[in-house]
Chain A
């Protein structure tokens, strides 16, 4: 393997990187996938991503139309423009998939994520955590004398910023829901 001249951007850990010799820009897209809520449908979607070497940054799924047995899967994924197009085309091939919407390119959309953060601390650190939570409009959903659980809703960037601030203040655990997204307006 040592004498092999590996393409730029490739590494020894990942064979998939060899697929993309062109130094194309990596984009992040939010996809909304409407599916029949039948057994195994999530496994089909996830299997597509793992089988073809695509990335999943976040994924949320729940039934959104109980009568019609439809679920909505929101996937945040990264890849070159060509890979994103492939992901959409491959998703559309899955039989229980009704519709694939790329919220990143199909007009404006809103994205929200919820996170729970457990922060342990005493004294000044505890006060500071409380103060920052207020600025970020995070709610306290559980409290002991030595800990808080904050609930925060917002874009993934906002949640990351809040998480970064909590880290030195005694962040113990984080749970994130992943992104839910909808197109703005009547689109």
Chain B
């Protein structure tokens, strides 16, 4: 293509060439030329959000549920700064995202112009990389490089800041094939010697456990298949982080449930007592490890991660394997098969005997009520009534998020969208919108708390405008539930500012937006209400009024080890000591 295009045309052309079908955004002065070009084409669909943070989370939902990068378009200044939370969220959870931001014209940069902000400066620590494009000549190649970096290696958010004069000026369009990719080319194949060492240790293991994470899901559906094959062939027990749920099916025989702070007893005790740990695409986050010096003290640890900086960052491992989970698992299986498919079967059988004893204690048991809806019960009913459906779940952040992870079953990867690393309240509603845009025929439910929902509730307008039938399932306890729980356990039951005194009437709120509202507060009506929500062809806010003071258990208190969990019926007084208090 030798004809010159304007910068704005180049943006659209580059997005098309990258296969982008959807952009989440909000217009403003500094991106008007790009919006003008968006108007004059119909290949790329633009979803108008109500706040730029909503655009970033919607892009995350889109990316996480499709495996494709999410694309965001915002204006300069406040448009860009509002995108910061979503970018940080994507960085923590390794979500591929390309943010295009408008900027004041190059000749005005540095003058404190209207809606000027140092966008590349502000987003430097919350992006994998970012660029300020000062010349239309380099715009196309920069956008192509942005997609390359966002999607390869450990995925993450990138930002391209485009001054308004660069959008107006003309230059020849450079295709993806002709654009330099730079030297960024992360290694995907693992070292075979290390993989062989890992297989050898695995063959001998008496008490193995596989601990998988979001990296398996980022690596693609084939990686989840290989993980399942490995588990089935070796009979190893498997647990997963919050971000990894669905890579191995919740209905699978070897599934221990989620591990970590609110993980199951069997998963955490298996981690603590194992003699061999295979960490697949997870990063030993502090929600997972608890007290690091008491973390799985007797195990031989193998860590598969595409990011070299994850190795030995928190937990020292015996065999690090740097590479893409899919490639490494493929080689791992090859080597294991070539060496004769050995496992220490009798010992593993005995190990299962122990695990099944832990399982039998049924740590997720809770005291149900026929007067008040228990949040756990509400999720169990939702699970039962949506079983087998083509279902995607998003969550906000807090108690409801942990209950969703505990009581909903995820059978496949890319079906559970949640803010894991950053813990962003307000993530779930816009994320559900992004998921629904990508999967218009599927059932998309956001499990929310009343407080989280309010943080980005303006996005109900987006759902209604674009006919996105997202279901907002609010477990309404009129509290900031997780904060209240910590204040109860740690701060002498002094509930400092952890309740909402004037919640909106969620049914009226739904109706005000043009959506449907449903209120349920009696356990006897719960099933009918859920069915009504599922049957409605359009966005719904379901106000499910639940027990106000329910706590989320089991729980590893901060600063404690995996074998020091507290349970629903246990003594919680003084469970967390002064040292634990200083942690989050």
Contacts and interface: CB of A to CB of B under 8 A. Distances in A.
Interface of A: 3-7, 18, 21-22, 39-40, 43-44, 47, 51, 82, 85-86, 89-90, 92-93, 95, 98
Given A95-B149, A98-B183, A4 B308 contact: no
**Which 7 pairs across A and B sit closest by C-beta, in order of nearness?**
A89-B309, A95-B129, A4-B578, A89-B308, A90-B309, A51-B125, A5-B578
Given A43-B124, A86-B313, A89-B313, 16 more contacts: A3-B578, A4-B579, A4-B582, A5-B577, A5-B578, A6-B582, A39-B132, A40-B132, A43-B121, A44-B124, A47-B125, A82-B312, A85-B312, A89-B309, A95-B129, A98-B183
Contacts of A92: 308-309
Contact of A40 (B124, B149, B308): B124
Max chain A Cβ within 10 angstroms of own Cβ: one of B120, B121, B309, B581: B309
A182 to B, nearest CB: 22
Contact of B124 (A22, A47, A85, A89): A47
B184 A95 contact: yes
Interface string B178-202: 0000111000000000000000000
Contacts of A51: 125
B307 A93 contact: yes
Nearest to B134: A39
B128 interface: yes
Contacts of A90: 309
A4 B183 CA distance: 48
Contacts of A40: 120-121, 124, 132
A22 B313 CA distance: 14
B311 A89 contact: yes
A47 B307 CA distance: 19
B293 interface: yes
B110 to A, nearest CB: 13
Contacts, number: 45
8 contacts: A5-B578, A5-B579, A7-B579, A21-B293, A22-B293, A44-B124, A86-B309, A89-B313
Nearest to B156: A93
Nearest to B184: A95
Interface of B: 120-121, 124-125, 128-129, 132, 149, 182-184, 293, 307-309, 311-313, 577-579, 581-582
Contacts of A44: 124
A17 to B, nearest CB: 12
A109 to B, nearest CB: 23
A4 B581 contact: yes
Contacts of B129: 95
Contacts of B124: 40, 43-44, 47
Nearest to B121: A43
Contacts of B577: 5
A106 B246 CA distance: 44
A123 B476 CA distance: 84
B549 to A, nearest CB: 27
A146 B578 CA distance: 60
A68 to B, nearest CB: 12
Contacts of A98: 183
A44 B127 CA distance: 11
A85 B293 CA distance: 19
Contacts of A6: 582
Contacts of B120: 40
Nearest to B292: A21
A22 B397 CA distance: 33
Nearest to A4: B578
A100 B369 CA distance: 61
A3 B309 CA distance: 35
Contacts of A82: 312
Contacts of B313: 86, 89
Contacts of A47: 124-125
A104 B124 CA distance: 29
A4 B581 CA distance: 8
A90 to B, nearest CB: 5
Contacts of A89: 308-309, 311, 313
A13 to B, nearest CB: 14
A4 B577 CA distance: 9
B224 to A, nearest CB: 26
A9 B578 CA distance: 17
B578 to A, nearest CB: 5
A98 to B, nearest CB: 6
B128 A95 contact: yes
A18 B121 CA distance: 29
B182 A95 contact: yes
A18 B579 CA distance: 10
B26 to A, nearest CB: 26
Contacts of A85: 312
A131 B159 CA distance: 58
A6 B311 CA distance: 27
Nearest to A95: B129
A82 B313 CA distance: 7
B137 to A, nearest CB: 15
Contacts of B132: 39-40
Nearest to A52: B125
A43 B121 CA distance: 8
A98 B308 CA distance: 15
Contacts of A22: 293
